Every structure is written in C-alpha cells, then in structure tokens.
Amino acid sequence: MTRRTLVINLDRCSGCDTCTTACKYENDLPLGEYFTRMLTIGPTGKFPHVERYWLPVQCQQCENPQCVAVCPTGAAYRDPDTNVVLVNHDTCIGCQYCIYACPYGVRSMDETHGVAQKCTLCSQLTGNSADVPVCVHNCPTGGRFFGDLDDPESDVSKELARYGDECVHTLPDPGGVGPTARYILSPSIAAWKELI
C-alpha cells in the first residue's frame, strides 16, 4: 500500500509561515483562504519557565477520512494509487458537509467555483512523483518531509526513523479517523500538547 503524507519536524519549525504562503502562491488561493495554517503553541508555563513550539496544520491524510464518509456525491475521495485525500470538483456540489466533518478544520469553500477545497499535497507537482509539495521544497528550516509512509526508503520514513517513539506524534484522533501525518517533537524542545 502507498500512503503519501507529510512528516513535519517541529524541532526545526520556527513558525515562519512560509508553508502558508508558498501554498497560496502555488495553489492560487485568494486572500483569507489557506490550505495550511500555522498554530503557535505556547509559550506554556509561567515566565521564565516556559516552552513553545509551532504546529503547522493542514490535511492530515486520514486513513478513515470523515470528509470522504460524509460526502453525498463521492466527490471527496482517497486516490486509489497514493491514498491522498482529494476533491473531485466536477462532482462536488458545495454542500460543505465535509468541511464540518473534518476534525482538523482544514477544508474550506472555494467560493469562486462553489466547491470544497483542501491541500492536495500539490498533486499538480507530485502526481507523477516528480516533485515535492512547495511547502516541503521551500521550508526554511528543512523541517517538512513528503513521501510514502509505507516505503522505508521514503523521505518521511527516513526522518521518522531518526527519532524514538516519544518524539513522534499525531494530532488527536477522538473519532478514529487515523491521521497519517506525523509530527516530530522532542521532549527536550517542548512537551507535546493534546489540543482537542
């Protein structure tokens, strides 16, 4: 099986928002719309005994995506070859069920075309495996990795292999959606916070 996803190393991420705008230029998003957003976690604690990290949040490429489950037309789907979660704009009716169903709030409406939109892992660049998403390519801290979670030779697998289990996290998953995106955060930088 192929599970294309992102691994984001928060030990490196400095919250610069380059992923946010690189995505907007590449995917031609208008003002106010984003496929990925930067959350600042902290500083938590009481000055000066505090810690802080940044958490970029985009589609988590779930195993059991709720957006797909609730879509009445099948427009929301996982690509059979890569398992990337995508939207078929020809069949999307703009009902917004998927937007409400997504536990991570990373889908939005393309108001111009009346359809749901989301991160495609830059499928226009990565579809033929020729390139990586622009957020990965340009990340100023070299903290974003793209590839197949099931391929031990992929960039994501190799980066994950450098860290112990205590450093590898996923966003909370109360609904059992099975996010495949992984976040690396070493306890020496900050304790991972469960946000939901």
Closest to other proteins by CB, 14 vs 73, is 14
- Tokens 């106010």 -> residue: 32
Q: Please report whether residue 79 would count as binding other proteins according to CB under 8 A.
A: no
Smallest distance, other proteins to C-beta of residue 97, A = 25
**115: β partners:** 110
Closest to other proteins by CB, 77 vs 163, is 163
Q: Please report whether residue 51 would count as binding other proteins according to CB under 8 A.
A: yes
C-alpha distance from residue 10 to each of 116, 130, 139, 141, 150 (Å): 29, 26, 12, 10, 22
Closest to other proteins by CB, 137 vs 173, is 137
Q: Residues binding other proteins: what is the number (CB under 8 A)?
A: 42
Q: Please report whether residue 138 would count as binding other proteins according to CB under 8 A.
A: yes
Smallest distance, other proteins to C-beta of residue 109, A = 15
- Comparing CA positions, the residue from 61, 99, 64, 57 lying closest to residue 177 is 64
Tokens of 57: 């949040």
In this structure, is the dihedral angle defined by the CA atoms of residues 154, 159, 162 and 166, taken in order, positive or negative? negative
Q: Please report whether residue 194 would count as binding other proteins according to CB under 8 A.
A: no
What is the β-pairing status of strands 4-9 and 182-184?
A: parallel
Residues that bind other proteins (CB under 8 A): 11-12, 14-18, 20-22, 24-26, 28, 31-32, 42-48, 50-54, 124, 127, 130, 134, 137-143, 188-190
